[in-house]
Structure 1
Amino acid sequence: MVRERYLTKSRFKLATECPTKLFYTGKECYANQNLDDSFLLALADGGFQVGELAKCYFPDGHEIKTLDYEEALNETNDLLQLDSIILYEAAIASGNLFIRADILVKEDDQIKLFEVKAKSFNPGESHPFTNRDGTISAKWKPYLYDVAFQKYVLSRSLPHYKISAHLMMADKSAVCPTDGLNQKFRLTHDATGRKGVSIAETLTMNDLTPPILCTVNVDSECGRIFQTLHTVNNTSLQFSHYVAFLADSYKTDTRIPSPIASKCAACEFYTTDNKEQSGLKSGKRECWKEVLGWSDEDLACQTVLDVWSFRGKDKLIENGIIKMDDIPEHAVHPKPDTSPGISASERQWMQIQKYKTRDDSPWIDHKNLMKEMNSWVFPLHFIDFETTMAAIPFNAGLHPYEGVAFQFSHHIVRCDGSVEHAGEYLNTERGVFPNYGFIRALKEQLEHDQGSVFRYSNHENTFLNLIYQQLNADTGDIPDRAQLQSFIKTITHSTTKSSEQWRGKRDMVDLWEVVKRYYYDPATKGSNSIKQVLPAILNSSTLLQEKYSKPIYGAKGGIKSTNFKDWQWVKIKDGKVTDPYKLLPKMFQDISDKDLEILSSDDELREGGAALTAYARMQFEEMSDYERSEIQKALLKYCELDTMAMVMIWEGLKDLCR
């Protein structure tokens, strides 16, 4: 029996990103850079908890558990014959359209649809979903199109009912009513390995009152989407025709061609040349070959998509300028700004020029970098944080998705050039809000001198500001509140949104900004991620290669380390330094190499997906002491390398300046 090729809500969402993706999705022959284990993503962002908590606000519902389409549809239809019913994961179909609704509430001839999202929402904000011209906001489009599609399918399948649609999200203005609420939702595995959530029997109405999730009626937004014309294949279609076209294309397995655009950079259907040679296809390459008529040689060229932080990509593509070799100077308009070093536009043009001339030599602004370095005060302190956002707070009085800082690492460089891993902090105790213990430990590490403190990107400053505000708002007894806040102000500057403005005497130096202003290596391909800059600078500096090719890290008489022994950071293969991060042990043993690579991919926003996933697993999964210990060891090693990477970048810049 041939299984029906339904256009589901997840496939519809994919098609709204790019309709060509419908042809690639679900086919094992095409590479897909999204997580295979989608539950890992829900674990990291708290999605599994929010989904289960939402059901608690609609108690005594019936869950449709079967994964079989037809069984789920039959069970749902039977239950909808009742005058009133609450359903979780209700299965609804109309033709070859299929949805599973998070929560359906039927009362006589009215059905309320609730789509639960692991996202925060401010109920006090006016017109949160639309732009000034009334169009749907880009940041809300994926969520609203999701619920609009569901409402459309429900209306077609159950035409005699009045359907209303709602989003259910974490309420930014709400505070958690009790302590320990987040620990009452634990991750479980059944005998088949299927993952789910177990809700503690100790959950009470006190835990749920007042609610920390809010419901927002989005019928008017759905109506706006239904009335909007949607362009596909250069044809404008009403919503109903648009959905029918997508559904028919998916059913007949017909590829929908799409124009090349900057969004192609985020396409998940791509692979490396090595993987492609082994038989795995790249949908992205197929698209570009078909639309542009390119050859494999053309595809080997860098394009406008590779230009760092450049907003004019789509305009160039529209004008037929796609290869980096063809980008004219006036398109970038490089010009200096008022700060030392190179501006963003000058850096973009440098990247393009070096590619055009095939100049792979690193560039460094010796004069300005040396001036910057001479302003730094020894001992130098390099710090890195690992953080997450807790969907359901640890303690009463905290808001949903308040920041949680659970780990830091700290390296020191003294004036004689000696390096040591000076300290670290990691709190993995279940249900414990770690932020105040975190800041006390950081204060103890940094308060003994006036040395310069370094971070990589703005993440650490943002989080310290957050903890400062948490200390302000906390009505509990915190004896050292004033001292902790005073310490935070010495090493940070206030955010623009803060009502209190300051800039500390030891305001942290952003090594990310230093790299952007004074250093560029074509090997990074424009990226300033620490995981791109570190290998590049290691390959450029013979001093670093000679120093760290020896097992001096964590060695007696060598560099003091907390988590490594006799470690060699530089290993050369085929004439290139191996990325030091690839030398570390796996963070998890039960996750595929592909998923681990995706979680560990680090961008300039310091997301730290692997670390926050590890933290979430230790918080909410049942695991043996041995498993917990191994994950904890891996976390400590990864974070220690983050600050050691900063040290090596500092040493490399200093070496290249000579």
Structure 2
Amino acid sequence: MTQESSEPSSIVLQKPPRLSKSKFLSGLQCHKRLHLEIYQPQLATPPDAGTQAILDMGTEVGELARKRFPGGRLVTAGYRQTEAALKQTAEFLADPAVPAIFEAAVMGDGVLIRADILERVCASDGETLGWRLIEVKSSTRVKEVHLDDLALQHHVLVSAGLSVIGSHLMHINTGYTYPGGEIDLAQLFAIQDLSAAVLERREAVVERLVAMKAMVLIPEPPAIEPDQHCLAPYECPFWAYCTKQKPERWIFHLPGTKHVVNQLAGQGVTTIDEIPDGARLSPVQRLVKDNAEWVSEKLGAALQTVRFPVHHLDFETVMMAVPRFAGTRPYQALPVQWSNHIEQESGELVHHEFLHAEGTDPRKSLAGALLDSLGSQGSICVYSPYEKSVIEQLAEALPERRAALRALVKRLWDLHPVVRDHYYHPEFDGSYSLKEVLPALVPSLGYGDLGIREGGHAASEYYRMVFVETDWIERARIQEALLAYCKRDTLALVELRRALKEKAGSR
């Protein structure tokens, strides 16, 4: 990797860097990522609001999971207080009265881990036989990265002299329907025994650690080219840094199946403009290669299928790992807000909106206000199948409103396939998401002036407003930001339809 003049050209090692669980997983994705995390972490892109909300949810789930192990003790020393954490963990390990240890700090083979839960396994006479390792995740299923995570922890624990009797993953059970009252933790969490799969990876862990320890001793990060490995299992935080000198039309910016991208890159193609004319591309990839505006002759006819008054509808939902309302499940999408811009045939525009700002089940009041706003006439313009799924779920949850809500589904008119099938602009960069389409067609109407700019941030701010924040001024600020964001989404649909009509008329 070529270092810029503003960055150190070499690393002066004071002592060998210590690996951790998170750094090991980073090294599995890319050795360059591991090197940068250790020596130049300031080059990483900070997590956005949506990603931070997921991390915060994971913390909440981890704290709740501890309640399944009554009497367990938490290692309170922070992640940077290594010696204190190791000492406190050792005391708990030696105390037979401690049935489980949370955030246990263990050092083995030069790697420091903090195990979510170590459960003591005892014989009938109370003698400690060993420890059950339990990793807690807010996800709903086992992933490959979870097995690698557990395999490293198992290796470290055994290297430190502990007897590991089993390796388990504790995750959210989406089949649990909350009946109300106290959460049944045995139902909310599923615990899977992954001991056999973890043991199969033990040898690989040792080999990988040897390679990583050698790599981090070199002064320069390894010269690894960015490609698809940077995006799995999660997008690398150094993606922007590692790709900043790539050309604007770099081949890996080609949308669609990455099999085609990898095949072209393997043939020496570095930019989209270099793709041979005979290459097999999808229709969208072909449009990106052509890099020109395209207007279908059928665009006008497609736009004229709407019926006035045209309602422009958008929902905002929250998906909570721990359900709070009777009859709901973990990660069920609960609508808490909607916006509706109503356009008359004359062009007159009226705006309705709803936001459930209390910590109670929002569905009944939201559905009632929604039906009043949408009435019985006109198309309901949306920009994805998401609104349909939300309405259908509302219909199932509210039998008394079922017929009226199902009638709304028949009036839905999706603008997304109209754009996808009949219009393309080079500024789309192959994406038909509203956030990409809108700036190209309606550059004056963006999201940059808003306090909330994307759905993940909206969901996390709603949760904070309703269930966390106690300051009424801050709650009012969040409410105003939520209303402005949802309103912008439906105004965007109005202006997008108008801009497309102009494009169709210019043919």
TM class, shorter-length: 0.7 to 0.9
Does the CA contact (< 8 Å) of 1:177 and 1:210 recur in 2? no
Q: Which residue of 2 aligns with 1:167?
A: 169
1:54 shift after superposition? 0.5
**Corresponding letter in the other structure for 1:244:** V
**Counterpart pick for 1:58 among 58, 69, 87:** 69
- One of 239, 256, 268 as aligned partner of 1:320: 268
- C-alpha distance in 2, partners of 1:396/1:376? 38
Deviation at 1:302, TM superposition (A): 0.7
Deviations 1:109-146 (A, max 9, x none): 2101111111124xxxxxxx5xxxxxxxxxx1122221
SS of corresponding position for 1:442: helix
Residue type of the alignment partner of 1:444:
D
- Paired with 1:78 and 1:251, the residues of 2 have a C-alpha distance of 33
Q: Is the 8 A contact 1:408 1:424 kept in 2?
A: yes
Query: Are 2:172 and 2:190, in contact at CA under 8 Å, matched by a contact in 1?
Result: yes
1:441 maps to which residue? 369
**Shift of residue 520 of structure 1?**
0.8
**1:213 paired to 2:189:** yes
- Distance in 1, matches of 2:441 and 2:84, equals 58
Can you list the C-alpha shifts for 1:85-126, whole angstroms capped at 9, x where unaligned?
Answer: 2111000111321111111112312101111111124xxxxx
Q: Does 1:222 align with 2:222?
A: no
SS at match of 1:283: helix
Distance 1:77 1:330, change over 3 A: farther
Number of matched pairs: 479
Contact 1:30 1:283 in 2 (8 A): no
The answer on whether the counterparts of 1:379 and 1:452 sit within 8 Å (CA) in structure 2 is yes
How many Å apart are 1:418 and its aligned residue?
Answer: 1.8
More helix, by proportion: 2
Q: 260, 274, 280: which one pairs with 1:332?
A: 280
| Structure-2 residue corresponding to 1:645 | 492
What is the percent sequence identity of the aligned residues? 28
2:133 is equivalent to residue 113 of structure 1: yes
Of 286, 311, 320, the match for 1:349: 286
Is residue 416 from structure 1 mapped to residue 346 from structure 2 by the alignment? yes
Matches within 5 A, 1:455-604: 455-471=382-398, 481-482=399-400, 484-492=401-409, 504=410, 506=411, 508-539=412-443, 570=444, 580-584=446-450, 586-587=451-452, 600=453, 602=454
Residue identity in the other structure for 2:178:
C
Q: Which runs of 5+ in 2 are unaligned?
A: 1-12, 122-127
Alignment equivalent of 2:92, drawn from 74, 79, 84: 79
Q: Alpha carbons of 1:464 and 1:302: their partners in 2 closer, same or farther (altered >3 Å)?
A: same
Partner residue of 2:306 out of 376, 387, 402: 376
- What corresponds to 1:241 in structure 2? 207
Kindly indicate whether the alpha-carbon contact (under 8 Å) linking 2:323 and 2:330 is maintained by their aligned counterparts in 1: yes
CA distance in 1, matches of 2:71, 2:207: 38
SS in 2 for 1:580: coil
Query: Residue type matched to 1:454 in 2?
Result: C
Q: What are the Cα deviations for residues 145-166 of structure 1, in whole angstroms up to 9, with x where unaligned?
A: 212221121121125x133111
Superimposed CA distance per residue, residues 297-322 of structure 1 (whole angstroms, 9 cap, x where no aligned partner): xx234122222223322222223223
* Offset of residue 401 of structure 1: 1.7
Question: CA 1:209–1:166 in 2, change beyond 3 Å: closer, same or farther?
Answer: closer
* Matched residue, 2:8: none
1:450-484: CA deviations, max 9, x gaps? x111111222122223333444xxxxxxxxx24x2
Instruction: Please tell me the residue identity of whatever aligns with 1:283.
Output: C
C-alpha distance in structure 1 between counterparts of 2:211 and 2:164, whole Å: 26
The secondary structure found in structure 2 opposite 1:349 is helix
Q: 1:147: which partner in 2?
A: 150
Whether contact under 8 Å (1:177, 1:396) holds in the other structure is: yes
Change (3 A) 1:151 1:470: farther
Any conservation in 1 of the 2:358–2:466 contact (CA below 8 Å)?
Answer: yes
Partner AA of 1:459 in structure 2: Y
**CA 66–36 in structure 1, closer or farther in 2 if over 3 Å, else same:** farther
* SS of residue matched to 2:27: helix
RMSD of the TM alignment (CA)? 2.4
Q: Which residue does 1:268 correspond to in 2?
A: 237
Residue of structure 2 in register with 1:386 after alignment: 316
Separation (CA, whole Å) in 1 of partners of 2:316 and 2:459: 7
